[in-house]
Amino acid sequence: MTEPAITPELVAKHNLTPDEFAKIEEILGRTPRYTELGIFSVMWSEHCSYKNTRPLLKTFPTKSSRILVGAGEENAGIVDVGDGLAIAFKIESHNHPSAVEPFQGAATGVGGIVRDIFTMGARPVAALNSLRFGNLSNPEVRRLFAGVVSGIAHYGNCFGIPTIAGEVCFDKSYEGNPLVNAFCLGVLRHDQITRGAAHGIGNPVFYVGPATGRDGLAGAAFASQDLTEESAEQQRGAVQVGDPFMEKLVCEACLELLATGAVAGMQDMGAAGLTCSTCETAARAGTGIEIELDKVPQRAPNMTPYEIMLSESQERMLIVVTRGREEEVKRVFDKWDLPWAEIGIVTDTGRMVVRNHGEIVVDIPAAKLADEAPIYHREAEEPAYIAEVRAFRLDGIADTLDPVANLSALLAWHTIASKNWVYRQYDHMVRNGSVVNPGSDAAVIRIKADSVPILAQGMSQPTTPVPEKLVAFTVDCNGTYVYLDPYEGGKAAVAEAARNLACSGALPLGATDNLNYGNPHNRGIFWQLKESVRGLAEACKAFDAPVTGGNVSLYNQRGALGAIDPTPTVALVGLVEKPEHVTTQWFKDEHDVIILLGDPVDLADPLQGLGGSALLQVVHGKKTGSPPRVDLPAAQTLHTTLVGLIRAGGIKSAHDCSDGGLAVAVAEGCISRHDGRHTPRLIGAQLDLVGVGHAAPVNPADLIPNPDPVVDPDRSAPATESLAPRLDALLFGETQSRVVVSCAPLDATKIVERAKLLGVPARRIGTVGGDRLVLKTDAGEFSAPVAELHDAWWNSIARAMQ
């Protein structure tokens, strides 16, 4: 087949700029061949090179005494959990493929992140996902939503990994560009860490897994440009097709192979396929690599070198084998009935050389391809809408007259409503390690003996059993907050995730993030990115949660629908010390006392926590206002205090106040407990909020407003200090760093006083019991049957999907 001439039009079609093409010519000392042009296109795409974001990513904290493999070193980060055990985890996106073909796009997103984990030598033991869609009133959104969820369920269930946590949010900004972020966690011993490097000159290179086809051609480049109707149609038939049963065989074979000690390096063929796996392994080791394309298994006839190198066919691995041990490797692959081929060799040239029937079609310096993509420092400019957001006040927004109706509406809002329609499609009990299933603040799993890969031959066998570990993990981001104030929104994403861990009895070990934004060439969007990364970095430092890796997904926008809300998804992982410390969000027993940790309302905030709130969006139809601020030292004090209280005993439940505020948090404590068959176990509560949130003891003399404005240095407009909160702010405001806990009556005084002693505001606000949620306030008493609240919350998404 005659290759096309390299023209400026062809270069532009490959999403390379004239300056980038000139740099390619400088590296090669000649005009690139067609296949080489394609290779540079994918490797220098944002998806693979982070050329627009690398300077920002360097601001993240990445070090701690527990980090064994850090950010950017390998396919996933690895963190020590004690006793010689470690966990590998990472989150990545599959947004564009899921927008084009939701089932396979989401399924192969799961497959890709699972491979990233067992490539490190870890056994995958748990998964979660973070999903964003437009409004479910749109039939196309419902189609995408159903397809994505079924794709995730299909791959995870068939592979045999519990999908045990996650989040799903709905907003019009995601109408044309849904977000599908997949996370996986695996377990290994310290001495089982595997590197993706082509070590050992003369070592043979093996291809393992199904034959290469034309699916997913240049998928990384596709993910690094705006999604248009034209690009979507072009890629529709080329979205990767996953086979979870094949992936299970590949996983087990690779883990068994690693135990032989015959592996010198291993890398999965994910984004950019054979291209990425070859050049990156060589670059990491400072070696070269040569492969023969006619030896690569191919399932389509007459495939060109361009197609073979850029295909993203799934479930494939590249393995560098210690020379002389080829037969052992072949025996393992044959045992698992896996296709394999010896396709190349490690060299000392530092070059990636590809031959096709003896003819050289690629000859590129591996390190320059993998590590020396151009880096851009984009211009950032605050968007005009931010001034309007900051100027917004509650004047003209009537206080609530019917809190029960507002509460029901918020519980039925799809972003807050129960996600049981989603997670009932997932197997979250497989492997028998699930301790806290979907539906609480964070998932918790047990790491047990069969979670750890088998030991390599010759390794000394442990004399004691594998100690069980309890690992908690969660994922969070309020995209509305980030849109309205990227810096505060970035801090809030990390703070909420850390708060969820604390509510489960854990403190963070590390973080992985997925940065989802629009086109970085837009100065306003790049400002969103820059400011939110600043907030993320500060919060990760404050909570001692180093970033171990992650993913950047830009160009999430579609034609007239515009860009998505900036969505820096953050997954945090932590340890629970003992089984008795595992805590869930739902109330447990009649007569238990309900305690609020944290200030009821931030009265220094002119919007009293209602900026960007669910109430403002659902009840008033407004998506505006500066979101509540995060005081990082106060948040850290809350988290450590809460975990200390849990470890001391007495805390029966803990649930953070986030979307929908205090009333929603308490309602969820009443209605979110279900048995294994999803049968609700409802319990009521009586809240006494009379005088709660007031700046001073309530008496007639205190109710004189302060006429002097208080200037807030963090806000552009002055705030008027109020002695008493609005009712809607008290019930539905989203002031940060608040947690609702419950305990036995005898423990209440001790818990309140200990929290105050440690610097956390604390007060009794009610009791558990009955079959109604009762709200006693300065404006009167309101109540609703918990069964009705449960119905609105539990069935909302199912009704929308009928």
Helix-helix angle 34-43:18-28, to 10 degrees: 120
Please pick, among 94, 154, 428, 581, the residue that the annotation labels catalytic: 94
DSSP calls for 714-778 = TSSS-B---SS--HHHHHH---SS-EEEEE-HHHHHHHHHHHHHTT--EEEEEEE-SSEEEEEET
Backbone angles phi, psi at 739, to 5 degrees: -140, 140
Burial label for 126, CB within 10 Å (0-12, 13-18, 19+), is buried
Instruction: Based on the residue annotation, tell me whether 377 is a catalytic residue of this protein.
Output: no
Contact 100, 132 (CB under 8 A): no
User: Residue 102: enclosing H or E segment and its boundaries?
Assistant: helix 102-118
Beta bridge partners of 730: none
Among 728, 732, 661, 782, smallest CA distance to 400 is for 728
Helix-helix angle 139-159:102-118, to 10 degrees: 30
Beta strands in 215-312 (DSSP E): 263-268, 288-292
DSSP calls for 412-457 = HSTTTS--HHHHTTS--SGGG-EEE-BTBSSEEEEE-GGGSPPPPT
Beta strands in 253-409 (DSSP E): 263-268, 288-292, 317-321, 340-347, 351-356, 359-365
Instruction: Based on the residue annotation, tell me whether 47 is a catalytic residue of this protein.
Output: yes
The whole-angstrom separation of Cα 715 and Cα 729 is 19
The whole-angstrom separation of Cα 89 and Cα 125 is 10
Beta bridge partners of 341: 207
CA distances 63 to 60, 292, 551, Å, are 9, 40, 18
Q: Which two tokens stand for residue 579?
A: 């089984």
Residues 6+ apart with CB under 8 A from 598: 638, 657, 735, 737, 738, 739, 760, 761
Contact 269, 246 (CB under 8 A): no
Contact 768, 681 (CB under 8 A): no
Q: Say which DSSP state 595 is in.
A: E
3-class DSSP assignment, residue 234: helix
Residue whose structure tokens are 């209602």: 610
Contact 735, 556 (CB under 8 A): no
Please pick, among 14, 47, 154, 694, the residue that the annotation labels catalytic: 47
Contact 655, 640 (CB under 8 A): no
Measured torsion, CA atoms of residues 17, 18, 24, 27, in degrees rounded to the nearest 10: -130
Q: Say which DSSP state 584 is in.
A: B
Size of the chain in residues: 802
Exposure string for 417-434, b = 16+ CB within 10 A, e = fewer: bbbbbbbebbbbebbebb
Catalytic residues: 47, 94
